[in-house]
Chains A and B, each alone.
Chain A
């Protein structure tokens, strides 16, 4: 499993829109990890969550690319 948990979701759907592999779906107004096996560890959901609610498994994480290299 790559995307680990969503804690404190406000239901803005930014993660659903940003995920290229349709891993996250909205259920009852909250984002839910529906297809974890499809996660490509791109970190887009985590990077675009406005409240930093998404956690990735540390053992599978890759360094986040920042503008200063």
Chain B
């Protein structure tokens, strides 16, 4: 059976952004908890991997552009944004939600304690990353009126979107490595590698090689004679 380039790309993307996080989760030595908590953990890991995948679902990925049409990539980018961003934005609530089914601290009290513990760098990073993601998603949702107001139009908005995405990813990655239950060395290495490749592709797209200085006409004439 001969696979098409599109099928191969989709399978490779699923293997990297779904298969590997689940594999590392399964091989990790984090203590197993109730089914609900484990489902929430896996959903959060996959959502974060999908967020990293957004760097690859963009015009910076020339390989993908040679296989899929830009509107197809845009559509997948948008669908991932609606689902993964939703899970990540709900992440602070999802941490405390299972407490409603247990004795001990109530979900609201746990939530307040969690988001007001500013002594922990991991919590502060997570809070800032959450706010950045909120700004990222709101500006993406209202991109049309924002693009109209920007003097640089669509290109300017792309800079804002890319900058916010990189800022969010750096803080969220740091937060997950500092506090994440399942972010052990292999999972951290995977997330870090995906983030660095994604950043590299953005840099390559937005910082092209500086154009060569035009050679003065006199020098050209001198060289010719």
CB neighbors of A among B68-122 (8 A): 95-96, 98-99, 102-105, 109-111, 113-114, 117, 119-120, 122
From the candidates B30, B98, B113, name the one contacting A12 in the complex (CB within 8 A): B113
* Cα distance A43–B37 in the bound complex, in angstroms: 18
Q: What does DSSP make chain A's interface, helix, strand, loop or mixed?
A: loop
From the candidates A4, A14, A47, A53, name the one contacting B113 in the complex (CB within 8 A): A14
Chain B residues with CB under 8 Å of A9's CB are: 120
Chain A residues with CB under 8 Å of B188's CB are: none
- Residue on A with the closest CB to B122? A10
* Cα distance A22–B120 in the bound complex, in angstroms: 22
Find out whether the CB atom of A14 lies under 8 angstroms from the CB atom of B105. Answer: yes
Number of interface residues of A (CB under 8 A): 25
A36 within 8 A of B: no
B181 within 8 A of A: yes
* Cα distance A7–B32 in the bound complex, in angstroms: 12
Find out whether the CB atom of A50 lies under 8 angstroms from the CB atom of B103. Answer: no
Rounded to whole Å, the gap between the CB of A58 and the closest CB of chain B is 9
* Cα distance A14–B120 in the bound complex, in angstroms: 14
Chain B residues with CB under 8 Å of A43's CB are: 104
Q: A7-B31, A8-B181, A12-B113 are in contact. Are A29 and B105 (CB under 8 A)?
A: no
Chain B residues with CB under 8 Å of A67's CB are: 103
- Residue on A with the closest CB to B101? A66
Chain A residues with CB under 8 Å of B102's CB are: 47, 64, 66
Find out whether the CB atom of A47 lies under 8 angstroms from the CB atom of B103. Answer: yes
Query: B-contacting residues of A (Cβ < 8 Å)?
Result: 4-5, 7-12, 14, 29, 43-44, 46-53, 55, 64-67
Q: Could you jot down 25 A-B contacts, CB within 8 Å?
A: A4-B31, A5-B31, A7-B30, A7-B181, A8-B180, A9-B120, A10-B117, A10-B120, A11-B119, A12-B120, A44-B104, A47-B105, A48-B104, A49-B105, A50-B114, A51-B114, A52-B33, A52-B37, A52-B95, A52-B98, A53-B181, A55-B31, A64-B102, A64-B103, A66-B102
